[in-house]
Amino acid sequence: MAEKASAFAVPLILAAIFAFCVGRAANIVVKSYAAIFIGVFMAVMTPGVMGYFSAGRVDHHGLQLIFLACAFWGLMAQDKKGAILAGLSIPASLTIGLELLPILGLMVAWVAIIWAIRGDERSEQT
């Protein structure tokens, strides 16, 4: 009975965590608290993503999507806490599996390009 309950509850908890991370990233990008609701709505209404969080499906893809959303959230924050969040999320996602390697590689390349273009501004950030 406990196994059935956890197989039902764990994907829903992971979906809530994913929606929270997407909402926080949307809040940073748009700079409005209404963006949190729009980001959560878009995350929940995407069938391709929410299929990984359906009840009874416990696998590694949900965690990888959470780490991807956290990495995006951290990169959009553009501060030290965001850098730490992204710096922990990217290798954690790669530790779970290599399916997101191209997307995470683009994120790292984006950081390198921004640093190359505006390196002086980045070094002065707190």
Render pLDDT for 4-41 as a digit per residue (tens, 0 to 9).
999 999 999 999 999 999 999 989 988 888 888 888 88
In tens, the pLDDT along 69-125 reads 999 999 999 888 999 999 999 999 999 999 999 999 999 999 889 888 887 776 655
State the virtual CA torsion across 79, 101, 110, 76 in degrees, nearest 10. Answer: -30
Whether residue 57 has pLDDT greater than 70:
yes
User: Phi and psi of 8, rounded to 5°?
Assistant: -85, -40
- pLDDT for 14 equals 93
